[in-house]
Structure 1
Amino acid sequence: MKVSPELMKHLNELLDTYTQEVKSAGLKPSTEKTYLLHADHFVRWCNGDFVPGTTLKKNNK
């Protein structure tokens, strides 16, 4: 997927806000990492930089 540059800018701004909220939520480090990783993957997918399952497919070969 590839979204417009305007939407990508807005998504990155929202990701920054989300990151701040997750980091201030007092979560366990592993939980925090999971929340942020998945959010980052979604934003990267919107930008055309991420394909779900790609790493898993490479590791299973």
Structure 2
Amino acid sequence: MQNLEEQIAHLTRTVEDLSDVVARQQAEIATLTRRVQMLMQREATRDQDTGGSATFGNERPPHY
């Protein structure tokens, strides 16, 4: 009986630890999702401001 109680206590602790990990991961995913959305909005705004043209590193700007 004592062995079963020890196993249950161990499993309960493991479930609590996993729950904490999942909660932290959920918060981190939410933060990263917000950041990606902000970056996408910023890039869309930048794209609209430049008329949708892309400048590549090996191309000269149009004023040359």
Q: TM-score, normalised by structure 1?
A: 0.38
Q: Which has the higher contact order (CA 8 A, sep 6+)?
A: 1
Structure with higher Rg: it is 2
Q: TM-score, normalised by structure 2?
A: 0.36
Give 1 or 2: higher helix fraction. Answer: 2
